[in-house]
Structure 1
């Protein structure tokens, strides 16, 4: 092999090695985040190591995106990059900009109270500038995982999704082992709390979130196996059995975590995944029967889950917490009180009825807490993130049904995390923040994939995918 052919072969081999190395680095960082980052309050050596590892990985991923194929130049990518940049910029700016630009009735009253005791008012936009800067570093691993996942080819993104499922199963196995061990056992990474099938997490609700993500990804795999099933392909049956087993484990374990929202999200996410995959293998009586049976099972399960939620009413404290968070945020509008200021400011502003032996660590609503911490800039970030999500979904739905399965599934799983954030705070843990970043990178990477789906190659790729599906091959 000589000349142009040799150069092409060498370049392709180098690119493949770089992709494998990038996948290994992203997987290592994701494992480190999930195993050591299960708490929203404690940051140990593992979280610090993840932040250090994220720095070179961010540079490497940025280099890969700049020198990648045309998918990196897709304009829709910039909505996500702008969103990620704004998320990082807000806490950094809060830690350095002067307090004069923040304003707000609450800040004025606080300065007056401090002045009575001869204490100077906070001089920065954030009331807790050190905590705000720490919050920016808290985002680094997730940003690195997102950028690297976005730069990886489709096969590597599938491996990354499989790792998420494997981590969820490992966390579940650890959680089961914790139930039979004493509270101070080495199996419990947070011995200050009684083990409650937490796995890698301090809060079992976040274990539930990861299980929902794993079941969603496994459901997609099962749907692909069912849609492409042909007699005489035993490996397909094995894949389907493994996926069904993961879904079963998640369904059984979720009620044991005590997360009622997790049960509902599992049902809705799996139903959406089945509906999204059905166009790839519709046409026969079997496919229609599978779709109808799946939707019927989902409807019955959802009905039973809602009845269970009415009988086992959720703690009513979360409603007052969210309401009071909104009231305090209004006093510190329009720029917010600063990332990391929630705990001390809530303790200061809360009425006596809500003062407890244990401090309130979060608002149990991610969006209310962002409004509390960053005001109008937070609203801008949320709008920009919503636009990025909508653009990604639009691009995925424009692809042939046989090609969009992984991207749509990752987007559904990401949506489950975002929905759970309405009543909890999974994204406050480095673990779930890293998982969400991996899912976002996979979804965006699949949406702007360049393996023949752009321009004139779209129709050719779609035809090839249909042919593979008809022969029982997974695209």
Structure 2
């Protein structure tokens, strides 16, 4: 086995297993990802060294930004922002706080407010005893937020003392982490995901093999879509079996699709598959301009595109449907311009634009009509959001982004550390979020009455809040450097990068990178696309 065959096999094993196994969100998912990538890191250089008489062809230039990002993350995890909570006044002064609460109640304090604060402090201590630093901090910060929002409360001075005691005074110029264990866990996973893209870029040399890899990845996307559509149409809410393949439970049965716990993230994954298929179709048509269908893979690839586009509205994701149309419409315009003779002149362009815009939208509506329940839910969701906007209520995504930005501005250089959103978000949550959450969660089970946020609905702002300007810059600089000298006119490169760019834009309103299947496929497709467009890649094949 040579190094190229090894990387293809290793990449396919990684992507296929992760994509079908709850999109990488299983308990063993992160471990499997890191082990598989580590095998690639060891195996590929050794095989290349054997092929090149002792030269492993391992350029450190592409690894430097990611290595620096990893080192900054490790340094941050050695500099925690908070004490061990079992050694704090907030945990130890249980009786003293109860006396203060009773005194406030006796003096006419708001009983609902006092009950909320004491309940959060009870849950705070419970999480401390269970050694869950993230949830414990989140509960304490929520209690603190309740107290601060009640300016006349006598508890205010006590909670300010608690907050000052919990925080560790560390140098602002040095990276830190809210909870070191969580930060390291997320750092390892993110680093290995990016490393996989670098491996693909570094060790695949022939365009023929790059197309083979992308073809299998595209087929895998279509197969997941087919399974998800069948599962969606056959779904019975009264079935007691786990929702995802009968093996894994979905946190919210209304939101899952196929192996993905969140339908929006399935749509992000599908768009990457669409970019792959669009590039392969365009590449074929440029070399076989007269062979649209005879002996051509184009019809099957087009069917795959249709299935991926159809899966978005059927999943019930409004944002996901918009995202797929954002990619489908330009491709439809290109494809139908290829079908219409150039002798049509300007009418050729107009017809292409008309078909490009109308066909995907009509197809999406037909798909929705085939599932009345999904159609009703989607239209109701759009109607509710429009009514809320007219009433002056902005979407939660806006407030999540705003809160993440506020969090970022408090530590703009290094950020709070990966994984810090969950324990710190209650400190930054907009008052609108608190009010709406209290109303919506009023009748929930007591232990569920918590609006903590692990993922902001804005990947970019969350990464800024958690890793700062320096962290985001180090993550971005590698792909940007790799773009230099690339032939973006290459069909495979152009459409794959367009899909990746669409996903990056989509990340301003969602968090697809937090689903491992999405981040891994993005990394692999980006690496393959950049390598395919590189000048000097093996010219034996187009």
Question: Shared fold by TM > 0.5?
Answer: yes
SS of 2:258's equivalent? coil
Q: How does 1:345-424 map to 2 (within 5 A)?
A: 345-351=424-430, 353-355=432-434, 356=437, 357=449, 358-381=451-474, 384=477, 387-388=480-481, 391-392=483-484, 395-397=486-488, 401=489, 404-424=490-510
Check conservation: 1:335, 1:377, Cα contact below 8 A.
yes
Rounded to whole Å, the distance in 2 between the matches of 1:211 and 1:202 is: 14
Q: Structure 1 stretch 244-253 or stretch 442-451: which is displaced more?
A: 442-451
Check conservation: 1:278, 1:287, Cα contact below 8 A.
no
SS of 1:234's equivalent? coil
Check conservation: 1:145, 1:437, Cα contact below 8 A.
yes
Check conservation: 2:333, 2:356, Cα contact below 8 A.
no
Rounded to whole Å, the distance in 1 between the matches of 2:209 and 2:81 is: 46
Corresponding residue number in structure 2 for 1:121: 168
Say which of 22, 27, 38 aligns to 2:23: 38
Check conservation: 1:269, 1:416, Cα contact below 8 A.
yes
Q: CA deviation at 1:267?
A: 3.2
Alpha carbon RMSD of aligned pairs, Å? 4.1
Q: Structure 1 stretch 59-68 or stretch 201-210: which is displaced more?
A: 59-68
Corresponding residue number in structure 2 for 1:47: 30
Task: Give unpaired runs (5+ residues) of structure 1.
Answer: 1-13, 101-106, 454-460, 466-474
Q: How does 1:72-471 map to 2 (within 5 A)?
A: 78=61, 80-97=62-79, 113=160, 119=166, 121=168, 125-150=176-201, 151-152=203-204, 153-179=206-232, 180-181=234-235, 182=239, 184-185=241-242, 187=245, 189-194=248-253, 196=255, 198-227=257-286, 228-230=288-290, 234-236=294-296, 239-272=297-330, 285=343, 293-300=351-358, 313=385, 316-351=395-430, 353-355=432-434, 356=437, 357=449, 358-381=451-474, 384=477, 387-388=480-481, 391-392=483-484, 395-397=486-488, 401=489, 404-451=490-537
Q: Structure 1 stretch 333-342 or stretch 179-188: which is displaced more?
A: 179-188
1:64/1:322 CA distance change after superposition, 3 Å: farther
Q: CA deviation at 1:146?
A: 0.9
Corresponding residue number in structure 2 for 1:457: none
Task: Give unpaired runs (5+ residues) of structure 2.
Answer: 83-140, 146-158, 366-378, 387-393, 438-448
Rounded to whole Å, the distance in 2 between the matches of 1:220 and 1:286 is: 26
Q: Structure 1 stretch 83-92 or stretch 419-428: which is displaced more?
A: 83-92
Q: Structure 1 stretch 132-141 or stretch 173-182: which is displaced more?
A: 173-182
Check conservation: 1:96, 1:125, Cα contact below 8 A.
yes
Check conservation: 1:277, 1:405, Cα contact below 8 A.
no
SS of 2:306's equivalent? helix
Q: CA deviation at 1:261?
A: 3.2
TM-score (norm 1): 0.74
Rounded to whole Å, the distance in 2 between the matches of 1:375 and 1:139 is: 15
Check conservation: 2:337, 2:352, Cα contact below 8 A.
no
The number of residue pairs the alignment matches comes to 417
Rounded to whole Å, the distance in 1 between the matches of 2:396 and 2:75 is: 33
Q: Structure 1 stretch 153-162 or stretch 431-440: which is displaced more?
A: 153-162
Q: CA deviation at 1:437?
A: 0.7
SS of 1:323's equivalent? helix
Deviations 1:197-217 (A, max 9, x none): 511111000111111222222
Rounded to whole Å, the distance in 2 between the matches of 1:302 and 1:173 is: 18
